[in-house]
Chains A and B, each alone.
Chain A
């Protein structure tokens, strides 16, 4: 933008439209409305520019539609729709993204703290507790968590120190501890610790919606749920994904048709819990609203398998604040990943 700050002597004040127009043809971006000091004139020129842009856009959209229509009439392929630019599309290149042929990754997986649960040597057994303060929605949230995660047990916090709780849990052979932290009487953060000395992840919890507040919610059964982890691409994300995987049993019961999803997008992890059912739908050619009429094949009706979902259980959003290498230890802790403001160099950089 610095290059566009060129001197514009003639455009100030009530100069005629000729000069700016001529100059615009010569060099494209020489005049900016912000260079004009007169507010009336400036706003006038800005409005003109915006109007011009809108007209251009409409023209382009019309041309595109005309091209598609023409191609369909002629029976050709219509021009491919343009891909909109999204932040996920333009994500900054991250060299820590896991590649499928990375043997060190697999070796690291075999050696990490979750491997014993993944190998089914230990079955997950979760201890859920809270922080020391009361909260309004906390107990309801915890009871829903108990129904979502199989083999989870709730213990009241009392005034125990977290380190003592870790020791107690180790003695009783728990595999993970979840601490629901409360702020201003609302569950606010989630601390997930893998035992015996596994990593501790500290998440910020937001947008919690309980089951009773979801319209048309379903009631979950007690089958082992299926787990979907989506969008964990980098090494850090992979580790967090394995952390979630270690909370759930490794043999899902597909007959139960119950699925728990952790979907990571832009470093926010969305938790959803659904019951699903597969249905085959016969879609006739004339009914298809969404499909293009170019599918003018010989079939009269097509069978499509669709999955219908019914949401049950809580839904909330998590964001990783820090990942510590041992069990929870604020004073002596070594952090594997901690968010620092100097890391936010661009809007297109994500860590998970």
Chain B
């Protein structure tokens, strides 16, 4: 018998994640617990085109009107509906300058969930930061017409004069934003006044007298409520904890393996962080003590580009250059599921309002609508399984318990010109509400 040690991957709880890759494709990965919990690709939005390589993405997953913003290499920022991938509108050049967008790519993007800048309801506010240091905050109004470019106020400011901005993050209360990069020390800005409130100071020379140049590659706030503590990872494989209220130098710093820290993500409890580096090692640290809690071992051979934490379940996702999206259990650090996605992945975000069928009964109010929407879901599911030619699609066919029903007219592809797959998740998964019908 061949001697193999196979890793059994237990399934993962129901979840939905969106991944972005270098060809500009957005892939939706779902795991439903009734199918053994293995995650698989259910949809793919966009055409492969390397000029549309995704540089940054941000999602506001509210229950009403969720929105996804995607910044691409050719300078456009697309606003999509994360449920079905429809393009709401696109902005071609957010910075409005004479620079070609390829010279000054966007390195950070954030969509605000709460309203900012006195914008009306139905708008979204966006904060974008380019590599050369320009930060733009703009609000866009899409209720008037789908092609409207911008409205409301715009604020632009320069974050740094020299160097490249590589990482930026907005804190949980959406009042503060931090920037850092190559040659740029970490600095925290207050958004309401657009003023820099704090800058870091680099640690002193080490015992040999060597001064490592500043090069921050990733950063995140330590917890959602506190904007004063944040963690930054450097190019020289160091992880540093800064506390604004304490001092300008890092409060704690430690080394992590030998390649640059490409991604950090915070856990919900406010003191654990997940660190991913350039050779694919993912580990959890406790920031109160600086101790390594454990490593996530699982054949990840490519640099980790993005880590995301699912809020409801103890699941962490990591994606990277080895084209795999891996889902891990937080407590046991075991690999729950790995999905091969064929391209270098740039970012992963979770859609936290996803509820699978099993959980439907507990969260819905009237049962009539529930039955109807459950039927619609099954229907949509069946429709979806035919065009999907994914490698794991044999499992999805198992889910076709119900016989084929006639699809409702509002579900079919009458307005689905752009997307390939017929899928309308919107009324099934969410609690009831109006979705403005997309007319893209």
Q: Does the CB pair A347–B303 fall under 8 Å?
A: no
Q: Does the CB pair A348–B2 fall under 8 Å?
A: yes
A110 to B279, CA, bound (A): 26
Select the stretch in B136-144, B336-344, B377-385 that faces chain A: B336-344
Q: Does the CB pair B5–A346 fall under 8 Å?
A: yes
- Minimum CB–CB distance from A225 to chain B (whole Å) comes to 30
Contact of B23 among A90, A104, A337 (CB under 8 A): A104
Count the B residues whose beta carbon is within 8 Å of the partner chain — how many? 36
Whose C-beta in chain B lies nearest to the C-beta of A111?
Answer: B50
Given contacts A110-B50, A345-B6, contact A337 B235 (CB under 8 A): no
Is residue A299 within 8 Å, beta carbon to beta carbon, of the partner chain?
no
A336 to B321, CA, bound (A): 5
Docked complex: B313-340 residues within 8 A CB-CB of A? 321-323, 340
Whose C-beta in chain A lies nearest to the C-beta of B297?
Answer: A342
Q: Does the CB pair A342–B299 fall under 8 Å?
A: yes
Residue from the set A92, A96, A103, A336 with the largest chain B CB neighbour count within 10 Å: A336
Q: Does the CB pair A235–B323 fall under 8 Å?
A: yes
Q: Does the CB pair B23–A335 fall under 8 Å?
A: no
Docked complex: B229-270 residues within 8 A CB-CB of A? 235-236, 259-260, 262
Is residue B48 within 8 Å, beta carbon to beta carbon, of the partner chain?
yes
Q: Does the CB pair A345–B343 fall under 8 Å?
A: no
Q: Does the CB pair A339–B23 fall under 8 Å?
A: no
Whose C-beta in chain A lies nearest to the C-beta of B212?
Answer: A331
- Minimum CB–CB distance from B162 to chain A (whole Å) comes to 19
- CB neighbours (8 Å) of A105 from chain B are 342
Q: Does the CB pair A96–B340 fall under 8 Å?
A: yes
Given contacts A102-B342, A343-B301, contact A333 B259 (CB under 8 A): yes
Is residue A170 within 8 Å, beta carbon to beta carbon, of the partner chain?
no
Q: Does the CB pair A336–B50 fall under 8 Å?
A: no
- CB neighbours (8 Å) of B22 from chain A are 111
- Minimum CB–CB distance from A107 to chain B (whole Å) comes to 3
Docked complex: B1-49 residues within 8 A CB-CB of A? 2-7, 22-23, 25, 47-49
A345 to B2, CA, bound (A): 12
Is residue B402 within 8 Å, beta carbon to beta carbon, of the partner chain?
no
A346 to B262, CA, bound (A): 30
A343 to B280, CA, bound (A): 12
- CB neighbours (8 Å) of B299 from chain A are 340, 342-343, 345
Q: Does the CB pair B2–A103 fall under 8 Å?
A: no
The contact sample of 21 A-B pairs, CB cut-off 8 A, is A104-B23, A107-B23, A108-B343, A111-B49, A235-B323, A325-B303, A325-B344, A332-B260, A333-B259, A333-B278, A334-B278, A335-B279, A336-B302, A336-B303, A340-B279, A342-B298, A345-B4, A345-B5, A346-B2, A346-B5, A347-B3
Is residue B404 within 8 Å, beta carbon to beta carbon, of the partner chain?
no
Q: Does the CB pair B343–A335 fall under 8 Å?
A: no
Contact of A331 among B5, B49, B235, B298 (CB under 8 A): B235
Residue from the set A333, A347, A351 with the largest chain B CB neighbour count within 10 Å: A333
- CB neighbours (8 Å) of A111 from chain B are 22-23, 48-50
- CB neighbours (8 Å) of A96 from chain B are 323, 340
Q: Give 5 closest A-B pairs by Cβ, nearest first.
A: A107-B48, A111-B50, A346-B4, A334-B303, A334-B278
Q: Does the CB pair A338–B7 fall under 8 Å?
A: no
A105 to B323, CA, bound (A): 12
Whose C-beta in chain A lies nearest to the C-beta of B4?
Answer: A346
Is residue B391 within 8 Å, beta carbon to beta carbon, of the partner chain?
yes
A90 to B5, CA, bound (A): 14
Q: Does the CB pair A337–B48 fall under 8 Å?
A: no
- Minimum CB–CB distance from A42 to chain B (whole Å) comes to 24
A335 to B276, CA, bound (A): 12
- Minimum CB–CB distance from B136 to chain A (whole Å) comes to 27
Given contacts A107-B48, A331-B235, A342-B297, contact A95 B391 (CB under 8 A): yes
- CB neighbours (8 Å) of A102 from chain B are 342
- CB neighbours (8 Å) of A235 from chain B are 323, 342
**In the complex, per-residue mask of B383-412: 1 if CB is within 8 Å of any chain A CB, else 0:** 000000001000000000000000000000
Q: Does the CB pair A340–B301 fall under 8 Å?
A: yes
Q: Does the CB pair B321–A325 fall under 8 Å?
A: yes
- Minimum CB–CB distance from B57 to chain A (whole Å) comes to 19
Known: A336-B303, A347-B3. 20 other contacts (CB 8 A): A103-B48, A104-B342, A104-B343, A107-B49, A108-B342, A111-B22, A235-B342, A325-B321, A325-B344, A333-B260, A335-B278, A335-B303, A335-B321, A336-B321, A337-B302, A339-B301, A345-B4, A345-B299, A347-B2, A347-B4
Whose C-beta in chain A lies nearest to the C-beta of B7?
Answer: A345
Whose C-beta in chain A lies nearest to the C-beta of B339?
Answer: A95
Given contacts A104-B23, A105-B342, A235-B323, contact A335 B48 (CB under 8 A): no
Q: Does the CB pair A348–B23 fall under 8 Å?
A: no
Q: Does the CB pair B343–A95 fall under 8 Å?
A: no
Q: Does the CB pair B236–A331 fall under 8 Å?
A: yes
A347 to B139, CA, bound (A): 56
- Minimum CB–CB distance from B281 to chain A (whole Å) comes to 9
Q: Does the CB pair A337–B343 fall under 8 Å?
A: no
A187 to B262, CA, bound (A): 33
Q: Does the CB pair B391–A338 fall under 8 Å?
A: no
- CB neighbours (8 Å) of B47 from chain A are 107
A333 to B49, CA, bound (A): 25
- CB neighbours (8 Å) of A333 from chain B are 259-260, 278
- Minimum CB–CB distance from B390 to chain A (whole Å) comes to 10
A96 to B252, CA, bound (A): 41
**In the complex, per-residue mask of A102-126: 1 if CB is within 8 Å of any chain B CB, else 0:** 1111011011000000000000000
- CB neighbours (8 Å) of A338 from chain B are 279-280, 301-302
- CB neighbours (8 Å) of A110 from chain B are 50
- CB neighbours (8 Å) of A349 from chain B are 4
- Minimum CB–CB distance from B325 to chain A (whole Å) comes to 13
- Minimum CB–CB distance from A338 to chain B (whole Å) comes to 5
- Minimum CB–CB distance from A327 to chain B (whole Å) comes to 14
Whose C-beta in chain A lies nearest to the C-beta of B44?
Answer: A104
- Minimum CB–CB distance from A30 to chain B (whole Å) comes to 19
- Minimum CB–CB distance from A145 to chain B (whole Å) comes to 29
Whose C-beta in chain A lies nearest to the C-beta of B323?
Answer: A235
A110 to B301, CA, bound (A): 24
- CB neighbours (8 Å) of A343 from chain B are 299, 301
A332 to B297, CA, bound (A): 22
Q: Does the CB pair A335–B280 fall under 8 Å?
A: yes
- CB neighbours (8 Å) of A103 from chain B are 48
- CB neighbours (8 Å) of B342 from chain A are 102, 104-105, 108, 235
Q: Does the CB pair A335–B302 fall under 8 Å?
A: yes
- CB neighbours (8 Å) of A104 from chain B are 23, 25, 48, 342-343
A111 to B47, CA, bound (A): 12
- Minimum CB–CB distance from B264 to chain A (whole Å) comes to 15
- CB neighbours (8 Å) of B5 from chain A are 345-346
A335 to B215, CA, bound (A): 18
A337 to B23, CA, bound (A): 19
- CB neighbours (8 Å) of A347 from chain B are 2-4
Contact of A346 among B3, B301, B322 (CB under 8 A): B3
- Minimum CB–CB distance from A98 to chain B (whole Å) comes to 9
A281 to B321, CA, bound (A): 51
